[in-house]
Amino acid sequence: MNIMFTSEWGVPRADEIVSYLRGPRLWIPQANYPDYDDWADRVQLDLKRETKRALLAVQSGRVIGAVIYQEHRSQEFVLEIKNITVRPDQQGRYIASFLLRNAEIEGRRDFQSQEVVCDAKASNLAIRWFLTKHRYHVATETDLYGLGTGHDVVFRKRLSALHV
Protein backbone atom coordinates (compact mmCIF):
# COMPACT_ATOMS: atom_id res chain seq x y z
CA MET A 1 0.00 0.00 0.00
CA ASN A 2 1.51 3.28 -1.11
CA ILE A 3 -0.92 6.13 -0.40
CA MET A 4 0.10 9.78 -0.54
CA PHE A 5 -1.95 12.40 1.29
CA THR A 6 -1.77 15.93 -0.07
CA SER A 7 -3.51 19.29 0.06
CA GLU A 8 -1.45 20.73 -2.79
CA TRP A 9 -3.63 19.64 -5.73
CA GLY A 10 -6.51 22.10 -5.11
CA VAL A 11 -6.03 24.84 -7.69
CA PRO A 12 -3.95 23.09 -10.37
CA ARG A 13 -6.03 19.91 -10.40
CA ALA A 14 -9.51 21.14 -9.45
CA ASP A 15 -11.03 19.55 -12.57
CA GLU A 16 -9.58 16.15 -11.65
CA ILE A 17 -10.78 16.45 -8.05
CA VAL A 18 -14.33 17.25 -9.11
CA SER A 19 -14.30 14.43 -11.65
CA TYR A 20 -13.38 12.11 -8.77
CA LEU A 21 -16.18 13.54 -6.60
CA ARG A 22 -18.66 12.63 -9.33
CA GLY A 23 -17.53 9.00 -9.36
CA PRO A 24 -18.41 6.06 -7.12
CA ARG A 25 -18.27 6.96 -3.44
CA LEU A 26 -19.11 5.60 -0.03
CA TRP A 27 -21.92 6.98 2.10
CA ILE A 28 -23.58 9.29 -0.43
CA PRO A 29 -26.59 7.84 -2.25
CA GLN A 30 -27.22 10.02 -5.33
CA ALA A 31 -30.98 10.08 -4.66
CA ASN A 32 -30.32 11.97 -1.41
CA TYR A 33 -28.60 14.80 -3.29
CA PRO A 34 -30.44 15.60 -6.54
CA ASP A 35 -28.42 18.81 -6.98
CA TYR A 36 -25.05 17.08 -6.44
CA ASP A 37 -23.75 17.84 -9.95
CA ASP A 38 -24.54 21.54 -9.53
CA TRP A 39 -22.77 21.46 -6.16
CA ALA A 40 -19.74 19.78 -7.75
CA ASP A 41 -19.61 22.54 -10.39
CA ARG A 42 -19.54 25.14 -7.61
CA VAL A 43 -16.81 23.21 -5.78
CA GLN A 44 -14.71 23.27 -8.92
CA LEU A 45 -14.91 27.07 -9.05
CA ASP A 46 -14.38 27.40 -5.29
CA LEU A 47 -11.25 25.22 -5.41
CA LYS A 48 -9.84 27.40 -8.18
CA ARG A 49 -10.73 30.54 -6.18
CA GLU A 50 -9.27 28.91 -3.05
CA THR A 51 -12.43 29.48 -1.02
CA LYS A 52 -12.69 25.72 -0.54
CA ARG A 53 -9.85 23.30 0.04
CA ALA A 54 -9.32 19.65 -0.78
CA LEU A 55 -7.25 17.19 1.18
CA LEU A 56 -6.68 14.08 -0.93
CA ALA A 57 -5.56 10.48 -0.68
CA VAL A 58 -3.74 9.50 -3.88
CA GLN A 59 -2.58 6.06 -4.92
CA SER A 60 -0.68 5.37 -8.15
CA GLY A 61 -1.52 8.88 -9.37
CA ARG A 62 -5.28 8.59 -8.90
CA VAL A 63 -7.47 10.07 -6.20
CA ILE A 64 -8.95 7.43 -3.89
CA GLY A 65 -10.26 9.70 -1.14
CA ALA A 66 -11.02 13.36 -0.51
CA VAL A 67 -12.34 15.74 2.08
CA ILE A 68 -13.60 19.13 0.93
CA TYR A 69 -13.64 21.83 3.59
CA GLN A 70 -13.70 25.57 4.11
CA GLU A 71 -13.71 28.25 6.71
CA HIS A 72 -17.37 28.70 7.64
CA ARG A 73 -18.80 31.67 5.76
CA SER A 74 -20.97 33.02 8.58
CA GLN A 75 -19.61 31.54 11.82
CA GLU A 76 -16.29 32.81 13.09
CA PHE A 77 -13.66 30.24 14.13
CA VAL A 78 -15.66 27.37 12.63
CA LEU A 79 -14.42 24.87 10.06
CA GLU A 80 -17.04 23.40 7.75
CA ILE A 81 -16.60 19.94 6.26
CA LYS A 82 -18.47 19.95 2.97
CA ASN A 83 -17.79 16.43 1.71
CA ILE A 84 -15.97 13.25 2.69
CA THR A 85 -15.56 10.78 -0.15
CA VAL A 86 -13.67 7.50 -0.41
CA ARG A 87 -13.74 5.05 -3.31
CA PRO A 88 -15.85 2.03 -2.32
CA ASP A 89 -12.98 -0.38 -3.11
CA GLN A 90 -10.84 1.43 -0.50
CA GLN A 91 -13.33 0.99 2.37
CA GLY A 92 -11.96 -0.19 5.70
CA ARG A 93 -8.47 1.30 5.27
CA TYR A 94 -9.12 4.31 7.57
CA ILE A 95 -8.58 6.75 4.69
CA ALA A 96 -11.64 8.83 5.59
CA SER A 97 -10.56 8.95 9.24
CA PHE A 98 -7.10 10.18 8.29
CA LEU A 99 -8.48 12.79 5.87
CA LEU A 100 -11.04 14.07 8.38
CA ARG A 101 -8.50 14.32 11.19
CA ASN A 102 -6.04 16.21 9.03
CA ALA A 103 -8.72 18.61 7.77
CA GLU A 104 -9.45 19.36 11.45
CA ILE A 105 -5.74 20.00 12.07
CA GLU A 106 -5.41 22.25 9.02
CA GLY A 107 -8.59 24.13 9.97
CA ARG A 108 -7.28 24.71 13.46
CA ARG A 109 -3.92 25.87 12.14
CA ASP A 110 -5.00 27.93 9.12
CA PHE A 111 -8.35 29.35 10.26
CA GLN A 112 -7.92 29.21 14.06
CA SER A 113 -11.03 27.02 14.05
CA GLN A 114 -12.32 26.10 17.47
CA GLU A 115 -15.18 24.01 16.19
CA VAL A 116 -16.10 21.88 13.18
CA VAL A 117 -19.53 21.47 11.60
CA CYS A 118 -20.79 19.14 8.92
CA ASP A 119 -24.09 17.64 7.90
CA ALA A 120 -25.43 14.33 6.63
CA LYS A 121 -28.76 12.82 5.77
CA ALA A 122 -30.55 11.59 8.88
CA SER A 123 -31.19 8.27 7.11
CA ASN A 124 -27.49 7.72 6.38
CA LEU A 125 -26.61 5.55 9.35
CA ALA A 126 -23.09 4.71 8.12
CA ILE A 127 -21.87 8.31 8.04
CA ARG A 128 -23.67 9.09 11.28
CA TRP A 129 -21.79 6.22 12.94
CA PHE A 130 -18.51 7.39 11.37
CA LEU A 131 -18.91 10.96 12.63
CA THR A 132 -20.00 9.82 16.09
CA LYS A 133 -16.94 7.57 16.26
CA HIS A 134 -14.84 10.68 15.60
CA ARG A 135 -16.45 12.57 18.52
CA TYR A 136 -18.97 14.59 16.51
CA HIS A 137 -22.28 15.26 18.25
CA VAL A 138 -25.72 15.94 16.79
CA ALA A 139 -26.49 19.64 17.07
CA THR A 140 -29.79 19.69 15.22
CA GLU A 141 -31.95 17.80 12.75
CA THR A 142 -33.78 19.70 10.04
CA ASP A 143 -34.40 19.84 6.30
CA LEU A 144 -31.37 22.00 5.55
CA TYR A 145 -31.66 22.23 1.81
CA GLY A 146 -35.40 21.98 1.15
CA LEU A 147 -34.93 19.39 -1.60
CA GLY A 148 -37.59 16.99 -0.38
CA THR A 149 -34.99 14.28 0.29
CA GLY A 150 -35.47 13.95 4.02
CA HIS A 151 -34.04 15.50 7.12
CA ASP A 152 -30.40 16.37 7.57
CA VAL A 153 -28.40 16.08 10.76
CA VAL A 154 -25.96 18.85 11.62
CA PHE A 155 -22.96 17.59 13.56
CA ARG A 156 -20.56 19.67 15.65
CA LYS A 157 -17.23 18.95 17.23
CA ARG A 158 -15.24 21.18 19.54
CA LEU A 159 -11.54 21.37 18.67
CA SER A 160 -9.33 21.77 21.68
CA ALA A 161 -5.63 22.48 21.45
CA LEU A 162 -4.91 19.17 23.19
CA HIS A 163 -6.82 17.14 20.58
CA VAL A 164 -5.34 18.76 17.49
Edge-to-edge strands, sheet with 3-6: 3-6, 53-59, 62-71, 78-86, 115-121, 152-158, 137-142
Look at 8-17, 85-94, 120-129, 136-145 and tell me which has the smallest mean pLDDT: 8-17
CATH 2.30.130.10 fits 3-117, yes or no: no
Domain ranges of the chain: 3-117
The band of 29, judged by pLDDT with boundaries at 50, 70 and 90, is low
Q: What is the pLDDT of residues 57-106, one digit of tens each?
A: 999 999 999 999 999 999 999 999 999 999 999 988 999 999 999 999 99
